[in-house]
Structure 1
Amino acid sequence: MKENNVLIPEIYASYPYDGKVLEYYQGVFESVYILLHPFYKAVTLELEHYNVDRWPKKNDFIKGHYPIAWHEILNLSELENISQIDVALRTMIGAIKQQYENKTWAKQVFELYELTKIIPCDEGYISPFLENPLLYAIKELGYDYLFTIDEFGLNDPEKMQIDYLIDNDQLDKCNYTEDHQLLFATHWDCHCTFLCSSKKIIDQILDIHPFEGFFCTPKTEVYWGLHEI
């Protein structure tokens, strides 16, 4: 779709940059579940031995680390809720305006890393710890293929077998089913992924794998840690 000669991605293959999440998807998806990206700690893989050009493949990364839930971070730190974790993480990467930053919370996350070597979760793309469980769950619902596309819709979407996506690092920012009934997409400044579908389908996925996260309410914003969720 084009608007004033600028390519605009279809709603079922995109995510909101700001504002209320459900309002953005209104008329397309009934529900949105926020999948929290896990923190993680090395088991056999030391990331300091890698660089951007030689980063471990997804499945090697998963084998070399174990995930740590946000609620475990609350037990290990003085942070009181997941909204504080969200603001801390966004502060650490400079993803929110200065007046909304909380350097005290960010310091607590950094000090936890120094003390325990628990690495803060990554932003911008779906966590490798969530990829395969989510793909297996979608496959269990009867889907064999997904379309993948970047957030700007600059390239044609690629139709890919879910089995291939499980074995390889090919997911993009936006990934959706051919019938447009399900989407998961990751905002570049978010340490979480939006899982969009009907409430029934999302509940089925959560029955298959209990992903840590929460359902959006009409008040939930993209920068949700700064607002009532």
Structure 2
Amino acid sequence: MDAVDRYRFGPPDDTPILPWFGGAYTHGFVALHPFFTVDGLDPTICEYGTLILSRAALPNGLGLLEWGDDEEAKRRVGKDVDPEEVDRAAKRNGLRIGWQTICRQAGFADHCELDQALRTSIDGLRDDLADAAKSDRLASYCSLHRIFPPNEGRFEPLMQASLASLFRRTGHDRVIVGDEFGDNERLVDAGLLEQGDLWDAMAELPQYGVKRLIAPDRSLLAWVHWDSFYTLILGKAETFQELEIAGLFEGFWCSDETETYWLTQPCIPLAE
């Protein structure tokens, strides 16, 4: 991959993040996707979160797409609120709950353990890394307190306004938005991203979802990994000066060793 591409895409999963960029970006902040509540909204009546399908469980004689449609229909039974309604309500009225708070109240040692529980819940870990007991404990806690867990692999609705503000604060009135694979990139006004609408519902943005935000001068990149519960924000030292990014997002600064699956590495304290 050439130097230009390293301003646009994240590294392979098993590669240290910052060295992979070869100086294109020297600092990285892992912005954790928040848990949240919405006043008057009970997660038990909402169709929300990732639908998990194991190919080994595919019924004989049923196509994969047909099976997926059937499972989606089953999941909708008894649900009064669809995922888009939840996202709209979250962006408009959601109350963020940080990972540190969940760890303290639900009995997780740190955000690495909590990440393990979240990734287990979506079958996103190898068997030797998954922990079903932690995943079940987290699910029970969230259900008891009517808390929505975060989603993986997208810019969370509760974070979208703050992400747009991040680019504004670094002097960018326009932002390049891109899909996961770089097939569709568009230069848009930052004001568009600051609107109350969900990004995935905007006709002006990539059809298959916004996965990357890039400053036109390549000084800043916000990127989501498809199977991760965080947004990676990358830049150089001068980009982050006086930005106070920890005031916008809960998270931590990457070390030179930090990889995509940092839950397997020594835990880096959250920024204050």
Range of TM-score over shorter length: 0.7 to 0.9
Mark the structure with the bigger radius of gyration. 2
SS at 2:177 equivalent:
strand
The unaligned stretches of length 5 or more in structure 2 are 47-79, 200-204, 268-272
Deviation at 1:196, TM superposition (A): 0.3
1:113–1:21 distance in 2 versus 1, CA, 3 Å: same
Q: CA deviation at 1:46?
A: 5.0
What is the CA-CA distance between 1:134 and the residue it aligns to? 2.4
**Partner residue, 2:28:** 32
DSSP-derived class of the 2:29 partner = strand
**Residue 12 (structure 1) aligned with residue 2 (structure 2):** no
Q: Is the 8 A contact 1:220 1:228 kept in 2?
A: no
Which of 38, 42, 55 aligns to 2:38? It is 42
**8 A Cα contact 1:15 1:151, kept in partner:** no
In structure 1, stretches of 5+ residues that fail to align are 3-8
Mapped partners of 1:208, 1:91: distance in 2 = 27
Measure, in 1, the Cα distance between the counterparts of 2:244 and 2:87.
22
Q: Aligned residue for 1:173? A: 211
Name the CA distance, whole Å, in 2 between partners of 1:85 and 1:16.
23
- State the number of aligned residues: 220
Decide whether the 8 Å contact of 2:152 with 2:227 is kept in 1: yes
What per-residue deviation string (whole Å, max 9, x for no partner) do you get for residues 38-61 of structure 1? Answer: 001121445613335xx1386543
More strand by share: 1
Q: Give me the whole-angstrom Cα distance separating, in 1, the residues matched to 2:20 and 2:81.
A: 38
Q: What secondary structure, in the 3-state scheme, does the structure 2 residue paired with 1:125 have?
A: coil
TM-score by length of 1: 0.88
Structure 1 residue 16, shift from structure 2 partner: 2.2
**Would you say the 8 A contact 1:45–1:65 is kept in 2?**
no
What is the alpha-carbon distance in structure 1 between the residues aligned to residue 237 and residue 86 of structure 2?
Answer: 33
When structure 1 is superposed on structure 2, of 192-201 and 204-213 the one drifting more is 204-213
Matched residues in 1 for 2:92 and 2:248: separation?
A: 20
Give the 5 Å matches for 1:74-223: 74-155=103-184, 157-167=185-195, 168-170=197-199, 172-206=210-244, 209-223=247-261
Residue by residue over 1:2-51, the C-alpha shift from the partner in whole angstroms, topping out at 9 and shown as x without a partner, is 9xxxxxx8221111240211122222101110001100112144561333
Identity of aligned residues (%): 24
Moved more, 112-121 or 55-64: 55-64
Whole-Å separation in 2 of the counterparts to 1:77 and 1:95: 21
- Match in the other structure for 1:65: 94
Q: What TM-score does the superposition give when structure 2 sets the normalisation length?
A: 0.74
Kept in 2: contact 1:33–1:202 (CA 8 A): no
Greater Cα offset, 15-24 or 35-44: 15-24
Q: Is the 8 A contact 2:38 2:89 kept in 1?
A: no
- Give the aligned CA root-mean-square deviation in angstroms: 2.2
Which fold has the larger relative contact order, with Cα–Cα distance below 8 Å and residues 6 or more apart in sequence?
A: 1
C-alpha separation in 2, matches of 1:97 and 1:87: 11
How far apart in 2 are the matches of 1:180 and 1:58? 30
